[in-house]
Amino acid sequence: MSTTLDFDSVHVADVSRHFGRRRALANVSFTARSGDIVGLLGPNGAGKSTLITMLATLAAPSKGEIRYGSEPAARLGAALRTRIGLLAHELHLYPELSARQNLTFFAELYGLDPRALVEAALEAAGLADRGDEPVSAFSRGMRQRLALERSLLHRPRLVLFDEPFTGLDDRAVGLIADRLRALAADGAIVFLATHDLDLADGLVTRVALIQNGRLLSDEPSSPGLRARYRALIGAH
């Protein structure tokens, strides 16, 4: 797999997305750069998942464009997806296969040599001693950590997480939060859609607050995120 395609910023430029008459996003603009952990915050139905889907190139804007570096997705073509890692609600794991078999399958799908890569991923997931067990026997937290490492096998530049902490215990949350910090420190651009304001406070470096498909705020994160969130949502 070629990894020559690279970029150090993502620009969302006046993006709207409509589904028939329903407006999911309206005129959203912001920029994220290498090392950012962008918290996409907002109520249910605000448009966070729609934005994640478009950043992943799985849907196109109805209006506006998303640029990766200086280039729009259409110009970069299929190679762009080799630089994007996505962890959404669907974990894309095969429950009848072992953790090692799942990671091997996806590594080979990306054209990677799975040997050392898979062992490193199992270690990062805290599953080095459970690699040969079927995923069906894993807890929610174990599956989530495995799916996270599955999404990172190809060392993506842009990492997209849609509610990755749902249903996890404190230990699993801590492991995943630490992994996100390490990714950003290594130069990735990280987007995190979450409802957990207490977790986001202290983890994200930027906050993009969305309500009813509109961007209410795009600003550096600062202490007191919950109070800021309530003030902005209440004002609109």
Q: Assign 32 to helix, strand or coil.
A: strand
The gap from C-alpha 139 to its chain's centroid, in whole angstroms, comes to: 21
Q: Assign 9 to helix, strand or coil.
A: strand
Question: Average pLDDT in the 185-194 region?
Answer: 96
Question: Average pLDDT in the 6-20 region?
Answer: 95
Q: Residue 4's pLDDT band (boundaries 50, 70, 90)? A: low
Per-residue burial over 132-160, b if 16 or more Cβ lie within 10 Å, else e, is eeebeebeebbbbbbbbbbbbbbbbbbbb
Residues 16-56: pLDDT tens digits? 999 988 899 999 999 999 999 999 999 888 999 999 999 99
Residue 1 has pLDDT above 60, yes or no: no
What is the secondary structure of 76-142 as a DSSP string? HGGGGGGGEEEE-SS----TTSBHHHHHHHHHHHTT--HHHHHHHHHHHTT-TTSTTSBGGGS-HHH
Q: Does domain 35-58+81-235 have CATH number 3.40.50.970?
A: no
Residues facing residue 162 across a β-bridge? 193
Q: Which tokens go with 50?
A: 């729609």
How far is 35 from 127, CA to CA, in rounded Å?
A: 27
Q: Which residues contact 151 (CB under 8 A, 6 or more apart)?
A: 85, 86, 87, 159
Residues 50-105: pLDDT tens digits? 999 999 999 999 999 999 999 999 899 888 999 999 998 889 999 999 999 999 99
Residue 187 has pLDDT above 90, yes or no: yes
What are the boundaries of each domain within the chain?
Answer: 35-58+81-235
Q: Assign 222 to helix, strand or coil.
A: coil
| Cβ(213)–Cβ(62) below 8 Å | no
